[in-house]
Structure 1
Amino acid sequence: MTTPADTAAAGPIPDVTVITGAYNSMPYITRSVTSVLEQTIGTDRLQILVINDGSTDGTGAELDRLAAENPGLTVIHQENSGGPAGPRNVGLERATGRYVFFLDADDYIGRETLERMVHLADTHGTDVVVGKMIGVNGRNAPTSMYHQNLARTDVFSSRVYWTLNPMKLFRRELVEKHRLRFRPELRVGQDQPFTSAAYLNADGISVIADYDCVYWVKRDDGGNNTSVTKGTAPRIRFLRAMFELVGEYVPEGPRRHHLLARHYTIDLPHTIRQLRREKNASDQREAFQDMRRLFDEYYSEGMAARLSAVERLLMELVRRGDLDDLLTASKYHKKLGDREAEHLTENGRVYARFPFFRDPARNIPDEFYDITDELPIPFRVGRAELDPATGVVHLAGKIKAPAPGGWSAPPEMLLRQRGGIVEHRLPLTVAESRDDAGYQDFRLDIDPATAGGGEPLAEALWDLSLASGDANVTRFGDRNNQGLAKQPAMHAAPKHAGSGQVVTLYAIRSTGHLTLEMGEIKHHAAKRFDVAAQPVTRRDELVVDVRATVSGLPADAVRLDVEGPAGVVASAVAHPGKAAGATRKYRARLRLPREARKHRDDFTPRVTVRAGSLAWTVPVTPAEPAPADAGPPAGRNIVTVLRRLAARK
């Protein structure tokens, strides 16, 4: 049964078809549907389809009630299909919107979500829009892909592949061109092949990171689909589907390894956990052999290079067909157990004493236990400053080789784009001498104008890490950087890019780790200009003081304007005071024109700050005039003041 109608009435093509599959979703379904009905884009621009998949808890009745009150909501009742894929595919067959958005019945969306997504896709011509997710009720939402807005990206230059649920905006033309549908034969991960194929066929992917788009709810009864599906076999079938899909689109090499790393590091531990829980030994052995056949096809040396030592060991045990040994060793994986291994240092290398280390009965090579290249690099921060005169970052301190054998590769500072895969390496200047603890002095100057391989750094968040080779990577910064956490250092550097750029060096409050921000992504220069207006004088003179905590501003950077109905009627360049580090004070004064004096409510003062092509506007709130008995204004003729005081007696 379908309400209010089996087919949509003829009319304008909606911008978005929102599709929700619901099965025993009380009481969550009410909030989920309401969040769609309250979208700022307006229900007249939406087609809202909710498919009741044979619910038995009152979900169907609640949906009918909502549909009766909201003509824009269409409810489709059907027999239970056994999973979320069926209802979603039904919705796709009925969709008429330019875009489709899938929303789970447990979850809900922010009021501006669809309006923002459609605007972004229309503006940049992208086929998929990924919106920031927020975990609710203890559910852990992915975060690595939401560090900054991205107008256009792809799965190879960002972390979007690490979120494969379908609660995103998809261009319907893309979906229909490639006949993308959900896989009902998969009991786990029915949505991931759909999203993955959409990503890989998309003409651009956009990311919204500055607005909470999707609220991902953990049900109180634990009834989320992924939580209730048990068994190893469904997970292996899902992994095979994903490996085959990636293999179809991406040839063997680093790009394939980048995508498959997501499944090896996230989905494989879940599969091994289920394997440990199998109660039937025959089922467990059969599932293990299926896993072995899968990895024989897709595991490679290039893939192994992206994994940790314990992950490589687990894969070696799978390859050998050692089920009991795999279950024993899996307890040392950080996501599968709480066992910690002791270390052996030998000939300059460090080995973890994971199970079966140098066991003659198994003869597993030492390379599967070698964690030398995974050890953190010990360091001490001595200096971390953004030069207020040049915008160059000055770093200095002490570092120590992580292994007794010394540096496996020359130490470098790694600038890694947060949420992406782009990175730049800058060599450190390291003293040859060591102190008694083995530390060496180092220094480095990072010029944002050249740090991007001789080019300006791109607009992004660049996390700073110490590196020695590809695996020894340690985030740089410590609690001694709390000054940069409370007050990030900001520099206006128009020379660093053709359109101008703001450079900010800041520390993460919880760890002190340092990040170099190119562009106003998290920190905004307009908030660094404190504007204070003095009371308008009797000569109708407006005086404004500006305190700027942005370095790199030219002497004539600050201007005071008075704007009326016909535009700017008066302007004055502020006079700069002496700079104290990154702080400089400016004072601007101008006499209000006659028309502004007569109709002050029609005129607005504002401060404009310019640095090359960069510009910020800060509103000015004129101070209230001083009360009549507040005393004489500064600078008034003392004789005049005394005469007026005498006249009052």
Structure 2
Amino acid sequence: MPGVKVSVIVPVHNTGKYVDECAPSLLGQSLPADEYEVIYVDDGSSDDTPARVEKLAAVHPNVQVHTRPNSGWPGAPRNLGIRHAEGEYIQFVDHDDMLGPEALERLYEHAKHNDADVVLGKMSSTMVRPRRLFRHTVDVCTIEYDELMQSMSPHKMFRRAFIEEHGLLFPEGPWILEDLAFVSAAYLKAERISVLADYPCYYWMKRDDGGNNTRHRFNPRHGFWSNCRTVVRQIKDGTPPSDDIDALQNRLLHRLYHVEILSRTREPEILREEPAAQRERFEAARHLAIEEFPAAVREGLPTLSRLRAELLERGDFDGAVALAERIREVKVRSTVGGLRWKGGRLVADVTLDLQRGDGEPLVLLERDGKRWLDPELLAGVPGTEDGWEARDPFRLAYAELVVKDRDREDWWYPEGDLEVRLEPFGQGRSRLVASGRLRLDPERLAGGRPLARGVHDVWAYVQLLGVDRMVRLTGDGTPGAPAAGPALTGGRLALPYWTGSGQLALDVDQRRRRLGSDTAGAAAANTARGEASLPLPYLAATAASGPARLKVTVSALTADAALIAGDDGTTARLRLPARLRLPDGRHPVALPRSGAPVAYAVVRDGALLRLEGPAHASGAGRRFLDAVADHRQVRRVRRRLGR
């Protein structure tokens, strides 16, 4: 294909229906079909996968299919795809994942604008927590940017000339960690790396049959430990050694040590797997840690992670189990205060801290001019009878708020940062606390765009002292009740509420919640021109954004109504249709699932004369005007009077 901008390479093997589920996202891209190609590489499937991809190729000119004997892993098919690719850039996609509709167009434009060798597109996933790497878009960085090591999967866009120049290839055969080997090599060689964080590019989805999990990664024939050693040496060969815990090599190796080594010593794995198998993994991790990782990597770990490393390297499996059992019970407590709408944002003061399994705060003790881990947490852990020093309580500590689109698995980061601080707790004790302000702007949160219609849950991620937790933000409000007043934003209603478990959520455009008696007060005053005021706080809505639509009940009639932002910034106006199929009279207007009326509609000959608040009482003069409302002279006078 001449002028191909992007080649999408998709390895497939016994994929079955997942080919058909993935294909629409690949073939429905906003990038014109003649500007990208989709290359399926079948790795010796024994089911109907070849027929499925050939069927796609027969219908779509930009799809091609290549086959090869089964290799047992994605590396060889990806390499074959690289050899056939004609695109300026290559995007790797797994057969059971999906791309966002504008992913290729946006990634390519970002790559060209920044002359990037590698572009990381924002990932959404049902399998892993959100990565702060995708909090902000980055035009250009290098491997010195620490956040890159949070994303080691191959689902990125690479400049094809860059791949060819450096001879980058995936290890072939049953080679677990082939993605780490390829991506770390690319990071080390790349001169310009870009991050696109304002659009969900890649959806990494969990299969319903569990076929894309990696719990089989320790099969001896996959060579996990030797492969991990290869990746470690690749990083060491590409960076200068140093005893400084913050030197580049030690920062890069930290990710491998934390994820691939310490996972063998901590919950849930060490408590979940069969003990004999886990002891074997523990010993293998111990040998690799001692033989390949510099001491500075271990010294640079947070307090509890450093203790885990100590237990691992001295071979204390029982001690590691005991510590894992205690840390498993640690929870994050959240405090939410002052939840309100301010300046177009849902605002709240948030505080997060750690609690032991008994519900008491996890504290640090001050003794002999040093800080020590909470002895209650370490009770029963061998080798910690004399305590464990918290040399730097702030080491790699951070906390952040994230908002999850419940329907789409997208994660977004609201404005503001949480600050980690030590707070005195009396009697020579202190506790590590993260606090700050939630600022959730429904009109800009989704990469500068409005949030999509649906329910959006507010979460917090905490990493303190080596304990990491992803938790829902929980307050002390009544479960199921509104968390703050409703808002009118961008022509839609935004309804904050506490879920049945007391967790903060925001319903945008009435996906599950409705404006009702528990979310809006009653109008109290009569207004003219067929509208009534409701005491409804709203976000900065302009005339261009349009009114918010909703259903109301007028007597027994269901009618379409609109809420229009008032000029004072604290009210919205309710507008009903000019014609109502109702008898003459005064009819109660109620919101869905609401008993008390918010207004009364005065109807004459099927026409809405006006809306009245529930507290309004019509005088004799008003009743006379209603009776003669169809008189031409009266209508003219009413218009002159501005009624």
TM-score range, shorter chain: 0.5 to 0.7
Matched, 1:528 2:544: no
Summarize deviations over 1:204-228 as a string: whole Å, max 9, x none.
Answer: 3332333222121211111115244
Counterpart in 2 of 1:582?
Answer: none
Which segment is superposed worse, 287-296 or 187-196? 287-296
- The SS at the match of 1:367 is coil
Counterpart in 1 of 2:233?
Answer: 244
User: How far did 1:23 drift?
Assistant: 1.0
- The SS at the match of 2:168 is coil
Question: Within 5 A, what are the aligned runs for 1:558-577?
Answer: none
- The SS at the match of 1:118 is helix
Kept after mapping to 2: 8 A contact 1:14/1:98: yes
- The SS at the match of 1:65 is helix
Summarize deviations over 1:515-570 as a string: whole Å, max 9, x none.
Answer: xxxxxxxxxxxx8352389xxxxxxxxxxx99597xxxxxxxxxxxxxxxxxxxxx
Matched, 1:103 2:93: yes
Residue 220 of structure 1: which of 198, 202, 208 is its match?
208
- The SS at the match of 1:191 is helix
Question: Within 5 A, what are the aligned runs for 1:34-113?
Answer: 34-113=24-103
In 2, the alpha carbon distance for the partners of 1:231 and 1:209 equals: 35
Residues 215 and 230 of structure 1: is their aligned pair in 2 closer, same or farther, counting only changes over 3 Å? same
In 2, the alpha carbon distance for the partners of 1:230 and 1:25 equals: 23
In 2, the alpha carbon distance for the partners of 1:61 and 1:192 equals: 32
Letter of the 2:302 counterpart: L
Summarize deviations over 1:118-170 as a string: whole Å, max 9, x none.
Answer: 111112222222222222xx433533222233333344446232111111111
In 2, the alpha carbon distance for the partners of 1:293 and 1:469 equals: 24
Residues 414 and 266 of structure 1: is their aligned pair in 2 closer, same or farther, counting only changes over 3 Å? farther
User: How far did 1:403 drift?
Assistant: 6.1
- The SS at the match of 1:142 is coil
In 2, the alpha carbon distance for the partners of 1:229 and 1:90 equals: 23
- The SS at the match of 1:200 is helix
Matched, 1:401 2:424: yes
User: How far did 1:13 drift?
Assistant: 3.7
Residues 120 and 200 of structure 1: is their aligned pair in 2 closer, same or farther, counting only changes over 3 Å? same
Counterpart in 1 of 2:446?
Answer: none
Residue 313 of structure 2: which of 319, 328, 332 is its match?
319
In 1, the alpha carbon distance for the partners of 2:166 and 2:54 equals: 34
In 2, the alpha carbon distance for the partners of 1:302 and 1:269 equals: 12
Kept after mapping to 2: 8 A contact 1:374/1:471: no
Counterpart in 1 of 2:260?
Answer: 267
- The SS at the match of 1:101 is strand
Summarize deviations over 1:225-254 as a string: whole Å, max 9, x none.
Answer: 524434488443343233223323333341
Counterpart in 1 of 2:148?
Answer: 160
In 1, the alpha carbon distance for the partners of 2:277 and 2:107 equals: 49
In 2, the alpha carbon distance for the partners of 1:249 and 1:318 equals: 27
In 1, the alpha carbon distance for the partners of 2:163 and 2:103 equals: 21
Residues 161 and 301 of structure 1: is their aligned pair in 2 closer, same or farther, counting only changes over 3 Å? closer
Kept after mapping to 2: 8 A contact 1:149/1:210: yes
Counterpart in 2 of 1:180?
Answer: 168
Kept after mapping to 2: 8 A contact 1:132/1:213: yes
The answer for unaligned runs of 5 or more in structure 2 is 332-354, 399-415, 439-458, 489-495, 506-538, 546-564, 570-631
In 2, the alpha carbon distance for the partners of 1:140 and 1:465 equals: 12
Residues 295 and 548 of structure 1: is their aligned pair in 2 closer, same or farther, counting only changes over 3 Å? farther
- The SS at the match of 1:240 is helix
Question: Within 5 A, what are the aligned runs for 1:21-36?
Answer: 21-36=11-26
- The SS at the match of 2:167 is coil
User: How far did 1:66 drift?
Assistant: 1.5
Summarize deviations over 1:60-118 as a string: whole Å, max 9, x none.
Answer: 11112222222321111221101111111111122221100001011111221101111
Residue 127 of structure 2: which of 119, 135, 139 is its match?
139
In 2, the alpha carbon distance for the partners of 1:318 and 1:169 equals: 37
Residue 128 of structure 1: which of 112, 118, 126 is its match?
118
User: How far did 1:34 drift?
Assistant: 3.0
- The SS at the match of 2:310 is helix
Superposed CA RMSD: 5.4
Report the number of matched residues: 444
Kept after mapping to 1: 8 A contact 2:286/2:313: no
Summarize deviations over 1:40-70 as a string: whole Å, max 9, x none.
Answer: 2122112321111111221111112222222
Counterpart in 1 of 2:388?
Answer: 367
In 1, the alpha carbon distance for the partners of 2:103 and 2:59 equals: 23
In 2, the alpha carbon distance for the partners of 1:466 and 1:99 equals: 36
Kept after mapping to 2: 8 A contact 1:532/1:546: no
- The SS at the match of 2:4 is coil
- The SS at the match of 2:133 is coil
Residues 528 and 198 of structure 1: is their aligned pair in 2 closer, same or farther, counting only changes over 3 Å? farther
Kept after mapping to 1: 8 A contact 2:120/2:194: yes
In 2, the alpha carbon distance for the partners of 1:210 and 1:37 equals: 22
In 1, the alpha carbon distance for the partners of 2:165 and 2:67 equals: 28
User: How far did 1:14 drift?
Assistant: 1.0
- The SS at the match of 1:130 is strand
- The SS at the match of 2:41 is strand
Letter of the 1:237 counterpart: S
Summarize deviations over 1:360-410 as a string: whole Å, max 9, x none.
Answer: xx5776336789769999xxxxxxxxxxxxxxx9x9xx994146326799x
Q: Percent identity?
A: 25
Letter of the 2:112 counterpart: D
- The SS at the match of 2:40 is strand
Counterpart in 2 of 1:292?
Answer: 287
In 2, the alpha carbon distance for the partners of 1:366 and 1:406 equals: 14
Residues 282 and 199 of structure 1: is their aligned pair in 2 closer, same or farther, counting only changes over 3 Å? closer
Matched, 1:151 2:172: no
Summarize deviations over 1:486-535 as a string: whole Å, max 9, x none.
Answer: 889xxxxxxxxxxxxxxxxx9x999899xxxxxxxxxxxxx8352389xx
In 2, the alpha carbon distance for the partners of 1:299 and 1:250 equals: 13
Counterpart in 1 of 2:5?
Answer: 15
Give TM-score, length-normalised by structure 1: 0.55
In 1, the alpha carbon distance for the partners of 2:127 and 2:464 equals: 36
Residues 630 and 365 of structure 1: is their aligned pair in 2 closer, same or farther, counting only changes over 3 Å? farther
Residues 152 and 27 of structure 1: is their aligned pair in 2 closer, same or farther, counting only changes over 3 Å? same
Kept after mapping to 2: 8 A contact 1:187/1:229: no
Letter of the 2:261 counterpart: L
Summarize deviations over 1:579-605 as a string: whole Å, max 9, x none.
Answer: xxxxxxxxxxxxxxxxxxxxxxxxxxx
